[in-house]
Structure 1
Amino acid sequence: MTHDQPHAGTESHDDDPVGRESRRPVLSASLRRTMAVVLTVLLVVSAGVGLWSFQQLRESDAELETRADVARVAEQFTVSVNNYDSESVEDYQSTVSRMLSTKFQTEFAKAMEDIVASVQQAQMDSKGTVLASGVATVDDDSARVLVVADADVKTVFDNRQRHFRWEVALVKVDGTWLVDDFTPVA
């Protein structure tokens, strides 16, 4: 026997890549299955949470858009109601009426009968501005918006600064928000 050759039954692990791999820990088949199941469950739960979060975000965006729409309509109404002059009362009535529900159009027309004569006699000119608004309530087909506004009213008799605090009630008709009523608030 020479010293250059390994003895039978003794192998050198330095030159045997298979021998080195056999020393690495091997995962049992049941542990691999368990890990696969856990990973699958985690992926499914993550996907479910992601879909739920996306749906919540979409609902939140839709609610914010609805709130913005009703606030915009209430503000437009407030400005339109407070912007008039004695020369264009008919245009004023037409502009405001387009923003009103059918029920409120009737009430507005009756109120205008009394107001038109006063506006023309005093040669009123009014310019309104919205100072602030906030949505009090909103659901699928109705809303209430609080609006704070001022109006500069000029007549042949004097000039006045008027201050308004209104609760504007809106209804959704055929996809369009319309003013259904408004009342002063303290």
Structure 2
Amino acid sequence: MSLTTERAARDDVATSDPVPAAEGRRRPRGRTVLAAVLALVVAAAVAVLVQLAVAGRGSADGGLELPQEREQVMSLTSQFVKRLGTYSPDMVDDSGQMPAYREQVREVITPKFAADFDKEVTTAEQLVARGGITRSADVFATAVSSIDDDSARVLVAGAFTDSYTRGEGEKARTVDQEPLPFRFTVDLVRSEGEWLVDDFTPVSSPSDEAGASEGSTP
């Protein structure tokens, strides 16, 4: 899973022209619509997670007999996503890196995953330093798809929210972007009694997959 593709897209948005004044005056209504859309996104995300989790339980013997482990992996998954999706320009040091960001993510991932993360994080750091982007992550729901003594798969849904500063000095203002919904499957392993994230990938809803299948060419 690339950690930088959507960051590049956000950076392109961040360098676009300001919103016209007339459009700005219509923003309250737009925010109301956006709130309604996000509410639907949350409901849909929860429904997808529940459906996929129920399907996963059927293939994971003993999953329901491990309530403590289930809580642990769901909690760690939430921490991972929030750490991965939380950064700001004040994390960038004089060398252009974000050491605190690197550390907060590495604390919850395996060494194997850390090697991939290290290859991707430099691009993210460049985008944050150049675009002044601040990102936060909200987790709406998590659900265990499968789990045993030393491995687990958790489904998570939420949204990333980006903002950036436009202008300088007294003219500086913060521009908030619309939240970017996400759904991931997160793979975890337990090593020496500690759960760690080993990988993550995007997941599509059943309706998305059905639509893609119907529209494909044989």
TM-score (norm 1): 0.65
After TM superposition, the structure 1 = structure 2 runs for residues 152-171 of structure 1, keeping only pairs within 5 Å, are 152-156=161-165, 158-160=175-177, 161-171=179-189
How many residue pairs get aligned? The number is 128
- The alpha carbon displacement at 1:60 in A equals 8.4
Greater Rg over alpha carbons, structure: 1
CA distance in 2 between counterparts of 1:144 and 1:60 reads 11
The CA deviation string for residues 125-172 of structure 1, in whole angstroms up to 9 with x for no partner, is: 111111000000101111000000112110236532111101011010
1:121 counterpart (118, 130, 145): 130
Is 2:186 the partner of 1:177? no
Structure 1 segments of 4+ aligned residues over 6 angstroms from their partners: none
**Residue ranges of structure 2 left out of the alignment (5+ in a row):** 1-61, 92-97, 167-174, 205-218
Query: Comparing 134-143 with 79-88, which one deviates more in the overlay?
Result: 79-88
Does 1:106 pair with 2:115?
Answer: yes
Is the contact between residue 63 and residue 146 of structure 2 (CA under 8 Å) also seen in structure 1? no
2:104 aligned to 78, 95, 110, which one?
Answer: 95
Match of 2:160 among 146, 151, 174: 151
The residue identity in structure 2 corresponding to 1:110 is K
Structure 1 distance, partners of 2:112, 2:150, is: 15
1:23-56 Cα deviation digits (max 9, x unpaired): xxxxxxxxxxxxxxxxxxxxxxxxxxxxxxxxxx
Match of 2:83 in 1: 80
Give the counterpart letter for 2:75 in structure 1: R
| Contact residue 87 and residue 120 of structure 1 kept, 8 A | no
Supply the RMSD in Å over aligned alpha carbons: 1.7
Matched-pair contact (CA < 8 Å) for 2:87–2:101? yes
Code of the aligned partner of 1:83: T
Aligned to 2:141: 132
Partner of 1:47: none
Deviates more, 1:158-167 or 1:171-180: 158-167
> Residues 60 and 106 from structure 1, CA distance in 2 versus in 1: closer, same or farther, beyond 3 angstroms?
closer
What SS is found at the alignment partner of 1:100? coil
Summarize deviations over 1:97-150 as a string: whole Å, max 9, x none: 111101000000101011110111111111111100000010111100000011
Q: What CA distance in whole angstroms lies between the structure 2 residues aligned with 1:118 and 1:149? A: 22
Whole-Å separation in 2 of the counterparts to 1:113 and 1:138: 33
Change (3 A) 1:148 1:61: closer
Q: Secondary structure at the match of 1:84?
A: coil
Q: Give the whole-Å Cα distance in 1 for the aligned partners of 2:65 and 2:145.
A: 17
Alpha-carbon separation, structure 2, partners of 1:91 and 1:62: 37
Q: What is the one-letter code of the residue matched to 2:190? A: K
Letter matched to residue 198 of structure 2: D
